[in-house]
Amino acid sequence: MKPIRIGEISYTNVLPVFHFFDSRGLPIEWVNHVPATLNQAMSKGEIDLGAISSFAFAEHSDRYYLFPNLSVSAYGPVGSIFLFTKGKSLQELDQASIALTNASASSVNLLRVILERFTGVNPSYQVMEPNLEQMMQVSDAALLIGDDAIRAAWSKPHYRVYDLGELWFQQTGLPMVFAVWAVRKEIAQMRPELMMEIYDRFMKSKESGNQEPMAIIRAAQQKVGGEVPYWREYFAGLSHDLGKRELEGLQLFYRHAAELGTLPPEIAIQMFQLSFSKS
């Protein structure tokens, strides 16, 4: 049978789940890319499971299951989803032009929720490559995510920086779920035992990441740079769980997006059943 193709987001925020994954003996292939590319590949059936934008799951929720207890979430500042402005407050962005990274789905739509629903402003948007200086040359503000956002915040301190995770939490009191682990339903139904084994190994990898934080920090330093205290604080601000509170935050995000017209009004969240492998 064909190997299972697993999508891995090419940012440091997923290291605590992926770094210790033991792929020995598994018929799998890895596809490493930014969220927007993985979202598209999953929708086309080019990858079978893995980490995708939470917004992309909602767009195709009839075709995917969610893996329980796996996400990239934040109860406050996320540390890598930033809106940069030339000193303007959010309230001053009405009719402003905002450049959006082409690497994102969840964060782009979260920004719209924050600006249009929470703040009551109506900017215009254009999608661009994630280069902050080029974005700011043609726009009043710019959205970057992941390691692009981290590097930009380090090197461009003269901009005003808003953390979207913090803004969401201040408004809702709920965590923001940026990415989820999903599997295409047809694959889960065809190869349930293998899906269960892959899920188990993700959970063991996450447990190892929690137990050995310095290994995760060293991997992040090798990828992006930075000092140990920075990464310790960064990873401490992330949750990789998907429990009751995360699901409440996820569903609230979907409702707000639906009210903006970017998602259908009802999103059915179906979890991968851990009993599949026994049926």
**CA 248/CA 250 separation, integer angstroms:** 5
Predicted confidence band of residue 279 (pLDDT cuts 50, 70, 90): very low
Predicted confidence band of residue 1 (pLDDT cuts 50, 70, 90): confident
What average pLDDT is seen over the chain?
96
Q: Residue 27 has what pLDDT?
A: 97
Q: Is 30 helix (H, G, I), strand (E, B) or coil?
A: strand
Write a three-state SS string for 32-45. Answer: EECHHHHHHHHHCC
Tens-digit pLDDT profile for residues 91-106? 999 999 999 999 989 9
Tens-digit pLDDT profile for residues 226-235? 999 999 999 9
205/266: higher pLDDT: 205
H helix runs in 160-212, sequence order: 164-172, 185-190, 192-211
Other beta carbons within 10 Å of 24: 5
Q: What is the pTM of this model?
A: 0.94
Of 181, 243, 183, which is closest to residue 17 (Cα–Cα)? 181
**CA 129/CA 112 separation, integer angstroms:** 19
**CA 199/CA 175 separation, integer angstroms:** 23
CB 132 within 8 A of CB 152: yes
Statement: residue 20 has pLDDT above 70: yes
Residue 73: in which H helix or E strand, if any? strand 64-74
Q: Residue 275 has what pLDDT?
A: 61
Q: Residue 220 has what pLDDT?
A: 98
Q: Residue 277 has what pLDDT?
A: 45
Statement: residue 139 has pLDDT above 90: yes
Other beta carbons within 10 Å of 22: 11
Tell me the domains of the chain and their CATH numbers: 4-73+176-273 (3.40.190.10), 81-172 (3.40.190.10)
Tens-digit pLDDT profile for residues 245-259? 999 999 999 999 999
Percent of the chain with pLDDT over 90: 95
Tens-digit pLDDT profile for residues 151-185? 999 987 789 999 999 999 999 999 999 999 999 99
Q: Residue 278 has what pLDDT?
A: 43
Q: Residue 157 has what pLDDT?
A: 72
Predicted confidence band of residue 88 (pLDDT cuts 50, 70, 90): very high
